[in-house]
Amino acid sequence: MNKRVFVVSLVIIVLFVIMIVSIKLSQPSIQKQKEILANAEIVLVDGDNEVVVGINEINNITVGNFKAVLDTSTTDPVEHNYTGAQLKDIFNKYNIDLSDRKAVILSAVDGYSVAYSIEEVLLDKNVYITYKKDGKFLKSRNEGGRGPYESIVVSDKFSNRRCKWLTKIEVIK
């Protein structure tokens, strides 16, 4: 019995140490994500290449207005007017070729990620990176908002494939 208690205690201690080490190792990444969010930037990742994009760069891309339904677990579905750039236009602006790619992964500051197929990204007027809702800039996470950037798939009628607090967009081969 004492041997069993010792082994269980040892396993718990080892797991605790692993958890502490993991937290310490991830802190720089978490801090970097928070800085990107605070600066209203998005990091585009294509293999080893990274480009930091801000609101000025997005405004230099063809920006459009579109309607999409926001349906959360705590609200009824409501159609809103959004302003943003199509994700495919952002990739074109930065010469990111999607022809041999499989997917795009969008990540948020809170660790949430969502994957979009290349086919749905390339559909016209389907996937946007938005920064305004109903004519007003998206509020930050600290202000109870969904911004400064949020991805929206217009064809998604249930709003469950959005990425609020967007900080990173990565193209996958």
Q: Please answer whether residues 139 and 145 qualify as being in contact, where contact means their C-beta atoms are separated by less than 8 angstroms.
A: yes
pLDDT at 23 over 70: no
Could you tell me what percent of the chain has a pLDDT over 70? Answer: 94
Asked if residue 157 belongs to a domain, the reply is yes
pLDDT at 170 over 90: yes
d(CA 145, CA 147): 6
d(CA 131, CA 128): 10
What per-residue confidence (pLDDT) applies to 25? Answer: 62
Could you tell me what percent of the chain has a pLDDT over 90? Answer: 59
Q: Taking residues 163-167, what's their average pLDDT?
A: 95
Q: Taking residues 9-28, what's their average pLDDT?
A: 74
| Average pLDDT over the chain, rounded to an integer | 89
Asked if residue 33 belongs to a domain, the reply is no
**HEC letters along the chain:** CHHHHHHHHHHHHHHHHHHHHHHHHHHHHHHHHHHHHHCCEEEEEECCEEEEEEHHHHHCCCEEEEEEEECCCCCCCEEEEEEEEEHHHHHHHCCCCCCCCCEEEEEECCCCEEEEEHHHHHCCCCEEEEEEECCEECCEHHHCCCECCEEEECCCCCCCCCEECEEEEEEEC
**128: Cβ contacts below 8 Å, ≥ 6 apart:** 64, 66, 82, 84, 85, 86, 87, 151, 152, 154
Asked if residue 61 belongs to a domain, the reply is yes
Single pTM value for the model: 0.81
What per-residue confidence (pLDDT) applies to 80? Answer: 95
Summarize pLDDT for 54-103 with one digit per residue, the tens: 988 998 888 899 999 998 888 889 999 999 999 999 999 999 999 999 99
- Specify the pairing of strand 41-46 against strand 150-153: unpaired
d(CA 55, CA 147): 12
Asked if residue 163 belongs to a domain, the reply is yes
**Band of residue 153 on the pLDDT scale cut at 50, 70, 90:** very high
Range of the domain at 73: 39-172
Asked if residue 14 belongs to a domain, the reply is no
Our count of domains for the chain comes to 1
Q: Taking residues 37-64, what's their average pLDDT?
A: 90
pLDDT at 24 over 70: no
Instruction: List beta partners, residue 140.
Output: 147
What per-residue confidence (pLDDT) applies to 6? Answer: 82
Asked if residue 71 belongs to a domain, the reply is yes
Which domain CATH number covers 141?
A: 3.90.420.10
Asked if residue 92 belongs to a domain, the reply is yes
Q: Taking residues 46-61, what's their average pLDDT?
A: 91
